[in-house]
Structures are given as structure tokens and as C-alpha cells.
A and B are shown apart, each in its own frame.
Chain A
Amino acid sequence: MNEHDTDVLDALRASLADVTLDTPLETIVADGRARRRGRRIALTAGATAVAAGLALGVPSYGHPSTAPPTSSDALATGAGTVHIRTAAYSVDSLKSGALRVSWDKQAYFDDHAGLEKALHEAGFPVQMKVGEFCKGPNDDGKLEHGVGTGVDQVMKGRRVADDKVTFDFFPDAMPAHTELFIGYLDSAQLAITGGRPGSVERLVPTDQPLTCTTELPSDSP
């Protein structure tokens, strides 16, 4: 390697020098504990329940018993709360009023209708489509990172880990006569993007007709 090569690599290092990981150690340790405990339970539960797609009783991701849950993470109980466990996804009401939803990425493609139904039952208005992208008549079409205006108020991603994804949904923050639209790439569109999974989220009106297209939307310049 010559001096010029070293200069290039130094410049490359410098360009990423300010990048830091903000995930707290406590989160890593809590997730590790939950995973280790989940493994033990899954081993004793056996394969029958898994094959049947039944709830295993394994604590959900992000709720390690060895670490006290924060008030915003605590599960809600009682009337009007929802706790759904399937092999494909889970939906839990939290004491904060949010819904914590975790799903298997592949199951999302196979059973987005099931997840949509589960969220409806939990009181969160959402419309999911695969291969189709919809918006309301007054939507300017602007997207940032594939997300439309206001979506960050009703939905926040928590962690993507290999084949699982977890989101918190906030039903109370949903404006009136509005629902969340989630459009996922279908297999043909995935081929266009080189296999990169992706989705578009927008807030759309429930009382006006939507305009839908199979064209892949792009981020605003």
C-alpha cells in the first residue's frame, strides 16, 4: 500500500469518525437475558406448540423479567387491552396506551391481513397492502425515508433484528378520520430493488377516496 492509498483510507476513516452507537448497554444486556430465558422456555415447551402456531408463553421481546420494565414498557391488563400471540406476530397493549407489535418479516408478507386485523382489534386503524401504494387527495406525496408526514407521531420502530421487527403504535395520537397506510413491496418490486425489503407509511383519510399506484414511490429530493 502506498502513501496515496493510505491517504484515501485515512479520509475514509475520518468520514465516519463521528459515528457512534447510542444503544445503551442496559438494552443489550436486557435483550440478551430475555433471549437466554426464552431459549430455556422454548426448549421445555417442545415443538408441538410451535408447530401448532400457539402462544408459547415466552416473554415478549423487550420485557426481560430480570430487568424491571419501565413504566412506558409495562403491559396493560384488564378490559379493553389486547394481548395476541401467534407464531407470526404479537400485539400487546402497554400501560402507556401504546401498542407494541412484533412480527416476523416473512410472516408480514404471508399474513399482512392477519396483522392488520389484529391491529384493528387492538384499536389502531391501519390499512396494509402489498405491491400498492396509496395516498389521500390532499397528500403532497412527500416522503422522507419512505415515511409520510405525521407518521412518526403514531408509529415508532424499536429494533430490527435479523428476521423480526418491533414497532410501537400510538392509537391516541392518530388524528380523527385518519388511518395509517402501510404499503410493502411485492416480489416483483423486490426484484427491482435488488431484494431490499421496504415499505411506505403514510397517514391517509378514512372518509375520502385514496389514489393508489403500483409505481414505487421515491423519497422527496
Chain B
Amino acid sequence: MKELEFAEFYRSSRDVCLRAVLAGVGERQLAEDLVAEAFTRAWVAWPKVARHPAPRAWVVRTALNTRISWWRRRRREVALADGHDVVVPPVTEPGLDPALLALLRRLPRRQREVIAFRVFLDLDTEATAKALGIAPGTVTAHLARAVATLRGHLVTADAKDTPEAGK
């Protein structure tokens, strides 16, 4: 039963979780690795994860935490001067808009996480706030800032795709 439950959960959630984590990290390969790792941990802890009110949120939270724990270790080890969690544009992602991914990577971490939970997991503000351990008002503020930043790129991109009237 456990195997069947997990299999169904994996099949129905893996793509959604990958998109959420991709929005959170802005790098396809890294997102895939983190999500696979998080699902592996979910399998190991399935009795607990299955009872979680939002198992997909558990997976995405685990994936993003995995990345953070790696960053924290690296930062301690190399004693970086600035300590910012800045991500360098890594590679061209086939099938994805590189400018959009670059823009996502430039967003502050909290804004990316709010997008991951609020937009791609479709959690409401309260559930997003609970998942991230922040106030609901903070979720709203982060989302508004992220939308303001993304609007220019996405609206411009849409406009390019839309033929002008009369032509």
C-alpha cells in the first residue's frame, strides 16, 4: 500500500514540484537534482510525509532546504566576504527562456520561494506563509515585489509574440 501511495503521489506531483523548485533556484539541472533528492527523502519518510497537510509543499521545502544547507556549508568553508546567496547564471537551459531564468535567479531568495509555493504549488497566502515560516502579509509583499520585477520581462515577451493590430 505504501508503495502504491507513494507511486501515485510521485506521478501526480513530480512535474509540479520540479516547476516550483525551478522557480526557486532558476537552474534546470540543479532543480531536477534537488527534487529527485527530496522525493527520495519523502520515500524514506513516507509515513510522516503522507500525513503532512501538504505533501507537495514538504517536497519543495525539502528541496530548497537541501540547497540552502549546501550553500551554508560552502559559505562557512570558504568564508566569503559578502555572504550573499547570489547565483551566477550557469548555463543555457534547453526549451526554457534563459532571460526569464536569469531574472528569477536575480530575485531575492524569499521572493523566489513565495513564487514557488504561491504560484506553482498554488497554495493560498496562509498556507504559503506557514510553509515558509513567515507572516501572511510578508508573503503578499514578496509576491507583489516579484510580480513588479517580472512584469517587464513577461509583458515585453508577450508583446513580442502578439502581432500588432492592422499589420
Contact = CB atoms under 8 A, between A and B. Distances in A.
Interface of A: 1, 4-5, 7-9, 11-13, 15-23, 25, 27-29, 31-32, 35-36, 105-106, 109, 144-146, 159-163, 187, 190-191, 193-198, 219
A35 B44 contact: yes
- Please list the 3 inter-chain residue pairs (A to B) with the smallest Cβ-Cβ separation, ordered nearest first: A194-B86, A32-B43, A145-B91
Nearest to A162: B66
Contact of B79 (A17, A21, A187): A187
Interface of B: 3, 6-7, 10-11, 14-15, 17-19, 22-23, 28, 30, 32-33, 35-37, 39-41, 43-44, 66, 69-71, 73-75, 77-82, 84-88, 90-92, 95-97, 100, 115, 119-120, 143-144, 147, 150-151, 154-155, 157-158
B87 A20 contact: no
Given A5-B147, A12-B150, 15 more contacts: A8-B151, A11-B157, A12-B119, A21-B14, A21-B15, A21-B32, A21-B35, A23-B14, A25-B7, A25-B10, A36-B44, A160-B30, A160-B33, A161-B37, A196-B87
Contacts, number: 142
Contacts of B11: 25
A11 B158 CA distance: 8
B74 A190 contact: yes
10 contacts: A5-B147, A11-B157, A12-B154, A19-B18, A23-B14, A161-B33, A162-B66, A187-B79, A196-B88, A198-B90
Given A21-B35, A106-B73, A195-B71, A8 B150 contact: yes
Contacts of B119: 9, 12-13
B115 A12 contact: yes
Contacts of B115: 12
Nearest to A19: B19
A11 B147 CA distance: 11
A5 B151 CA distance: 8
A195 B109 CA distance: 15
A28 B10 CA distance: 9
Nearest to B152: A8
Contact of B91 (A31, A35, A106, A146): A146
A187 B17 CA distance: 33
B78 A195 contact: yes
A192 to B, nearest CB: 9
B78 A187 contact: yes
A19 B147 contact: no
Contact of A19 (B10, B22, B75): B22
